[in-house]
């Protein structure tokens, strides 16, 4: 069992710095000093995030017969969040320190603050003078109408619009239990202590499934979803041995949940939650049925039974998974050349399906018009299918390294052999260099597209 307290701040610092240097992630509003807890994804970060969301959607919705997708509004009616319990109870207990004026979550004072902000009073020093815990509501409110008379909220989770549209989706799609509704989208929480880069943000994306089922099947399906979600993480490049399953004990789960598993990952700042798989019983449909005063029961044609479906909810954080992908992919490899000189190669070892750029395309010599023409043609052909990057600047070795650093799995080089200049049999072939092994092989230009498509999806 890995130790929760083992952290590697130096590694995390390098990752954050790479993210900014190469355009993965920037702080929102940085130009004006920064907006705490909000992040902008740059060109490579946006591609990575899109690859993750697309893969999740493909695996969760497109490749399953029993899950439908939806895309709900972010602005949420007050009544919805009153019924769900968020208006009254979605809060964190916080304490203030009168000495350093810091504010900390009361429930994880010891475990997190000391390690992450040693310069800030952690509530541990003898000088600390802590207030009693107070509840801080995490919801972000906004107002509608000419005089702002109508209250609405930025949704704190994507789940609520799924519960509220469950009946419409059931009736309009002729589905039968068990079936799920999936959604990917932004959620907002007024986190008091955003921290660990994008890990705890105020604006973030979730990838949620609400899986509706017969009450007898809830426990079994919770275990099945846990397995499905663990396989998903393996497929995208987060190995099973870096994931930890916390079977949340009685008393620590939400009062309506019969079972909750937290899937945690070994981040450089400690083992932390990526996703929750929760058996929420009929709590959600129950409170909305009561709050709206409209029936949400399901009628089973075969058994003639009428009942409120139960729900199993695998709820993943998109930004957290992107961060886990980057942390997992980051590697520094020491290379030794023929003269014994050592050099460090920084590589992001993304699975090709996640990599922001699938292939770099280079003419060996920028000044050779024919090489440039062929490389541009290859770029144009591949671009219709995947993200590629054309680069003719500087030595070839440096171009490879620039692509290694952002995780591009393949680099294609057009050289003199391609032109048929050094003997004819390599004419119309290019070298394809593998990021991880750094080995090169020659491939015919007309075979490049299928060769790559087989590997990058």
DSSP state string for 37-57: T-EEE-HHHHHHHHHHHHHHH
| Cα–Cα distance for residue pair 26/70, rounded to 1 Å | 29
User: How near is the Cβ of 37 to ligand GAP at its closest, in Å?
Assistant: 8
Is 315 a binder of ligand GAP (CB under 6 A)? yes
Is 49 a binder of ligand GAP (CB under 6 A)? no
User: How near is the Cβ of 208 to ligand GAP at its closest, in Å?
Assistant: 6
User: How near is the Cβ of 197 to ligand GAP at its closest, in Å?
Assistant: 10
Is 193 a binder of ligand GAP (CB under 6 A)? no
Stretch that binds ligand GAP, among 270-278, 300-308, 414-422, 448-456 (CB under 6 A): 270-278
Residue 302: asked if its preceding bond is cis (omega within 30°), the reply is no
Task: Find the helix or strand (DSSP H, E) in which 310 lies.
Answer: strand 310-317
Selected binder of ligand GAP within 204, 225, 261, 400 (CB under 6 A): 204
Selected binder of ligand GAP within 167, 189, 229, 433 (CB under 6 A): 189
Is 92 a binder of ligand GAP (CB under 6 A)? no
Is 431 a binder of ligand GAP (CB under 6 A)? no
Is 191 a binder of ligand GAP (CB under 6 A)? yes
User: How near is the Cβ of 323 to ligand GAP at its closest, in Å?
Assistant: 9
Selected binder of ligand GAP within 116, 273, 297, 428 (CB under 6 A): 273
Task: Find the helix or strand (DSSP H, E) in which 448 lies.
Answer: helix 448-456
Strands 243-247 and 305-307: unpaired
What are the backbone dihedrals phi and psi of residue 207, each rounded to the nearest 5 degrees, phi first?
Answer: -125, 100
- CA atoms 273, 277, 283, 288: torsion sign: positive
CB 267 within 8 A of CB 198: no
Distance of CA 426 to the CA centre of its chain: 43
Selected binder of ligand GAP within 274, 285, 311, 347 (CB under 6 A): 274
Could you say which residues in the range 319-338 bind ligand GAP, by CB under 6 A?
319-320
Is 276 a binder of ligand GAP (CB under 6 A)? yes
Beta carbon nearer to ligand GAP, 280 or 433: 280
CB 273 within 8 A of CB 310: no
Is 200 a binder of ligand GAP (CB under 6 A)? yes
Beta carbon nearer to ligand GAP, 169 or 365: 169
Beta carbon nearer to ligand GAP, 116 or 428: 116
Beta carbon nearer to ligand GAP, 314 or 352: 314
Is 282 a binder of ligand GAP (CB under 6 A)? no
Cα–Cα nearest to 14, from 346, 407, 435, 436: 346
Q: Is 76 exposed, middle or buried (0-12, 13-18, 19+ CB in 10 A)?
A: buried
Beta carbon nearer to ligand GAP, 253 or 402: 253
Beta carbon nearer to ligand GAP, 159 or 312: 159
Beta carbon nearer to ligand GAP, 179 or 389: 179
Beta carbon nearer to ligand GAP, 271 or 388: 271
| Cα–Cα distance for residue pair 194/104, rounded to 1 Å | 11
What's the half-sphere exposure (Cβ side, CA atoms, 13 Å) at 254? 20
Angle at which helices 218-236 and 318-329 pack, to 10 degrees? 40
Is 201 a binder of ligand GAP (CB under 6 A)? yes
DSSP 1: -
Distance from the first to the final alpha carbon of the chain:
33
Is 206 a binder of ligand GAP (CB under 6 A)? yes
Is 208 a binder of ligand GAP (CB under 6 A)? yes
Place of tokens 């968020």: 86
| Cα–Cα distance for residue pair 318/337, rounded to 1 Å | 40
Could you say which residues in the range 117-176 bind ligand GAP, by CB under 6 A?
157, 159
Beta carbon nearer to ligand GAP, 201 or 368: 201
CB 133 within 8 A of CB 53: no
What are the backbone dihedrals phi and psi of residue 154, each rounded to the nearest 5 degrees, phi first?
Answer: -75, 125
Beta carbon nearer to ligand GAP, 274 or 296: 274
Contact footprint for ligand GAP (CB under 6 A): 157, 159, 189, 191, 200-201, 204, 206, 208, 273-276, 313, 315-317, 319-320
């Amino acid at each position: 069992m890995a130790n929760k307290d083992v952290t590697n701040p130096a590694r995390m610092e390098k990752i954050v710095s790479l993210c900014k240097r190469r355009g993965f992630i920037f702080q929102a509003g940085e130009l004006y000093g920064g907006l705490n807890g909000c992040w902008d994804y740059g060109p490579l970060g946006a591609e990575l995030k899109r690859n993750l969301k697309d893969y999740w959607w493909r695996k969760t919705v497109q490749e399953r017969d029993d899950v439908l997708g939806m895309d709900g509004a972010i602005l949420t009616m007050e009544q919805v969040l009153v019924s769900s319990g968020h208006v009254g109870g979605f809060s964190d207990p916080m304490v203030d320190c009168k000495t350093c004026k810091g504010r900390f979550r009361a429930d994880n004072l010891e475990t997190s603050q000391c390690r992450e902000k040693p310069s800030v009073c952690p509530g541990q020093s003898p000088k600390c003078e802590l207030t009693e815990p107070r509840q801080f509501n995490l919801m972000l409110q906004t107002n509608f109408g000419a005089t702002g008379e109508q209250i609405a909220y930025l949704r704190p989770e994507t789940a609520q619009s799924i519960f509220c549209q469950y009946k419409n989706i059931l009736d309009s799609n002729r589905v039968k239990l068990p079936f799920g509704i999936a959604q990917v989208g932004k959620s907002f929480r007024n986190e008091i202590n955003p921290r660990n880069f994008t890990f705890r943000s105020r604006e973030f994306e979730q990838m949620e499934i609400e899986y509706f089922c017969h009450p007898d099947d809830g426990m079994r399906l919770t275990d099945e979803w846990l397995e499905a979600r663990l396989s998903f993480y393996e497929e995208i490049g987060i190995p099973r041995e870096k994931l930890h399953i916390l079977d949340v004990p009685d008393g620590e789960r939400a009062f309506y949940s019969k079972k909750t598993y937290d899937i945690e990952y070994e981040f450089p700042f400690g083992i932390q939650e990526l996703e929750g798989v929760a058996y929420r019983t009929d709590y959600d449909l129950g409170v909305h049925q009561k709050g709206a005063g409209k029936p949400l029961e399901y009628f089973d044609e075969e058994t003639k039974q009428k009942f409120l479906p139960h729900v199993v909810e695998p709820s993943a954080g998109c930004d957290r998974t992107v961060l886990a992908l980057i942390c997992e992919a980051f590697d520094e490899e020491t290379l030794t050349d023929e003269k014994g000189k050592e050099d460090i190669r920084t590589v992001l070892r993304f699975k090709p399906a996640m990599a922001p750029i699938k292939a770099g395309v280079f003419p060996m010599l920028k000044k050779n018009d024919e090489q440039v023409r062929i490389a541009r043609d290859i770029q144009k052909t591949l671009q219709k299918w995947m993200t590629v990057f054309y680069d003719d600047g500087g030595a070839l070795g440096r171009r490879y390294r620039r692509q290694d650093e952002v995780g591009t799995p393949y680099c294609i080089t057009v050289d003199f052999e391609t032109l048929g200049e050094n003997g004819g049999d390599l004419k119309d072939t290019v070298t394809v260099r593998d990021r991880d092994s750094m080995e090169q092989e020659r491939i015919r230009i007309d075979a490049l597209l299928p060769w790559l498509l087989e590997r990058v999806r």
